[in-house]
Structure 1
């Protein structure tokens, strides 16, 4: 059933046409009831669907045949459905691909004149949107048709154009391949990511050479994304700000195809770079300016709001942070985001509870239940494990639970020895050591300030590491330390 659920999700996403009114839903057929049950959430498994439709289990041959028919029709629908033209480039690319399929059919049937006519419709669209691989396919079909028509002059002219395009696409594919290789390595282990650092400068240099030679959109995009990836790895977010600002300017000047460039991704990255460079005031201005770019019903909006929220928290604009959190938690699409994203927002809410416990947005949020139930040391929370440990420690500290804190100290010591051995973990290690001081100094704020001065000064002097290794500081450690000291007895 999962495959059918995914197909229905894709079809609903790319088309404004209501699938419930499509040919699958004519009359009260079993196919219609099946699709309707899935889209309405009535069927969440094959077991439920088979029982409600046939009064049997999913091994029933009738149910298997029903699934097969629906799946086949859904895949066919992908080829014929009217795609939304809100994403103009995607709409045009799909249109070109469909036309090329028609041209190939006509070519196979030796209708050379008709095939060339279809290609003539594709070519100007492909040129306008820089679909160079599609353009190459159109030239190839056209050349094959001319081969069989016997016009040598036209053939020679088209062949030269085809060969030039073939060379251009070859370089473009090389650029795309270099970016894909880099991205695949980034999604691997930390060890692999570290090794990638040594290779990326030469990769970027090669990409720059390709861009200078052909200057196509896809070659630029490969350079743009690979450069951002590299500077994230080494923690140079100033360079990322420069890259994204330059991209905005080039789009405005028409140097980059505006129909294909993802302005929202660029905005998201620029905001994130301001967060990492601690330029919070400027980042908040940009975050407000670009807010209207994002549809609040989409997952991208929630991702954008994470950076917006963190900018507000890091800037100590807690009132703004509560407003942003309220927008997120009251958004009707909140239930549609992934479990990981939901847990992150729960974590942000818990930290805000520590900062602004009387905020109205926190009404109904069970702080105690969340802190005591959230799992730590898990791979799916990579980047947030330290944030969870800190939150749990602060919870017991606020309660004055000495026994719980002593247990936590042992957990922190083990975590430091096991997970924070590298230099990029220094900030987290220093802050956890400061936390342990609160117990060993018997909750004496003055004594903690004195004994922790060396660690605190080193914390201030230690920059945040690159994105590949960093634990996320939901609240800057420096701010948290001051808040903790203020909450302790004088």
Structure 2
């Protein structure tokens, strides 16, 4: 029943209105149509209710099994008529679907020996596949066309196309080998290891992919090489080099070394902002973000990701007015209401940290930590992710509101959290910061002994590296050294 429900949902969502699934001539609908309508109207929740209504029997009844099989076959055939093009679909995805449809149409015509029409469609498919560098589709269309030339004994056309076909087969073989290398590298990374051996292995695969791209100049080869190279530089914490690579990729597109119809320019732009943030190139990143505003549609997910990097760049560089303006844009954006829960929770935390760092640029309302906690049910489960930021903002809130007793009671909680969850090297900065928080409590919130005792630990924090390959959720919403300075400022004001 689940398969039927999914197929019917897809057909109702994507089906064209001028094509009917069932004949409308009969007064009484047949059992296939009754089963279809029962699923659509949610009359049939499962096989038991459907078989009982249609045959007064159990789902194992042969009549019901055959009926369901016939309806499923009809639905699968109907998939050929669906309009799968979406308004937010990337240009190259839409082109690929059109190209696949052309090849399918040519196959049907060729089977009916309509070679002239089939040849015309295949030539169009080959031009499109070549324009977008769909190697496999180009080969499939060429094979059909070679068959037509062979059947019609068109020797000259056959020999000319055969040369092009042989060249494309070499490229496809290289792409398939490269894809296996890429998959193997990704599987290695799924082990969540960042040992020197792993880094060397990923580097060697990246080099092999680069060599294949340079040899065959295929977009697919470039894409595989580029994606793995980006991941390699993240793992190596080589964010300045990542900035160079992302800028170089855009130059390759301008120089037509990389297919501009397939290259995801918006994703690359977001990657450049991310690299700017991680490399500490804050002012350059802000200038880049300012230039990128016209490129992103405010109703798209790309815009939300772009604005997130822009906001973090503003917050890290202490441009709180800019950060506040971006936050308000997000809160009033329709795309934010459709965002996943975790994405919304991140933005709630961003607002809390902005409020902490600059009350002047907040919305004028007092910071309500309890409301924030209620908005973050998922984040509290992520002990090494956003929950860390939630604990940090809790500490600062209690400090701001002068709740020393509450903080003293939480000292043991922070200590246990530190011991249980900050045991790996990539959480060293979090471990240091929680130790600094404990220093505040143990020295009774007095700034002078805290500064003296924490100096060495604070220097360790400033010199420690950010975790390898961390995702956005692990980016410090406010850099820990900057946050520590804010905590000391609060302590001075409270004395």
* TM-score tier after normalising by the smaller chain length: 0.7 to 0.9
Residues 383 and 472 in structure 1, CA contact (< 8 A), matched pair in contact too? no
Q: Within 1, Cα distance between the matches of 2:80 and 2:303? A: 26
Runs of 5+ in structure 1 lacking a partner? 36-48
The equivalent residue for 1:39 is: none
Q: Within 2, Cα distance between the matches of 1:32 and 1:284? A: 55
Q: Within 1, Cα distance between the matches of 2:117 and 2:251? A: 43
Displacement of 1:60: 3.0
Q: Within 1, Cα distance between the matches of 2:72 and 2:349? A: 41
The equivalent residue for 1:206 is: 208
The equivalent residue for 1:238 is: 240
Q: Within 2, Cα distance between the matches of 1:288 and 1:8? A: 45
The equivalent residue for 1:335 is: 337
The alignment status of 1:392 with 2:394, answered yes or no, reads: yes
Q: Within 2, Cα distance between the matches of 1:407 and 1:194? A: 42
Question: Per the alignment, do residues 425 and 209 of structure 1 end up closer, same or farther by CA in structure 2, a change over 3 Å counting?
Answer: same
Question: Per the alignment, do residues 427 and 484 of structure 1 end up closer, same or farther by CA in structure 2, a change over 3 Å counting?
Answer: same
| Aligned alpha-carbon RMSD (Å) | 3.7
If the length of structure 1 is used for normalisation, what is the TM-score? 0.83
DSSP 3-state at the match of 1:284 = helix
Displacement of 1:373: 6.9
What are the equivalent positions in structure 2 for 1:72-111 lying under 5 Å apart? 76=78, 79-81=81-83, 83=85, 87-111=90-114
The equivalent residue for 2:50 is: 61
Q: Within 2, Cα distance between the matches of 1:195 and 1:323? A: 45
The equivalent residue for 2:306 is: 304
What are the equivalent positions in structure 2 for 1:330-409 lying under 5 Å apart? 330-357=332-359, 359=361, 361=363, 363=365, 366-371=368-373, 374=376, 380=382, 382-409=384-411
Displacement of 1:121: 1.3
Displacement of 1:23: 6.3
The equivalent residue for 1:422 is: 424
Runs of 5+ in structure 2 lacking a partner? 25-32, 54-58
Moved more, 102-111 or 370-379: 370-379
Deviations 1:338-377 (A, max 9, x none): 1111111111122222223454547597432223774588
The equivalent residue for 2:316 is: 314
The alignment status of 1:463 with 2:452, answered yes or no, reads: no
Q: Within 2, Cα distance between the matches of 1:185 and 1:288? A: 37
The equivalent residue for 1:277 is: 279
What are the equivalent positions in structure 2 for 1:82-231 lying under 5 Å apart? 83=85, 87-186=90-189, 188-191=190-193, 196-231=198-233
Q: Within 2, Cα distance between the matches of 1:199 and 1:378? A: 36
Question: How many residue pairs get matched?
Answer: 469
If the length of structure 2 is used for normalisation, what is the TM-score? 0.82
Deviations 1:360-398 (A, max 9, x none): 547597432223774588665753232222122222222
Moved more, 143-152 or 355-364: 355-364
The alignment status of 1:485 with 2:488, answered yes or no, reads: yes
Q: Within 2, Cα distance between the matches of 1:5 and 1:320? A: 48
DSSP 3-state at the match of 1:334 = helix
Deviations 1:202-232 (A, max 9, x none): 1011111101210111111111111001111
Displacement of 1:108: 2.5
Q: Within 1, Cα distance between the matches of 2:322 and 2:17? A: 42
Moved more, 439-448 or 109-118: 109-118
Question: Per the alignment, do residues 263 and 181 of structure 1 end up closer, same or farther by CA in structure 2, a change over 3 Å counting?
Answer: same
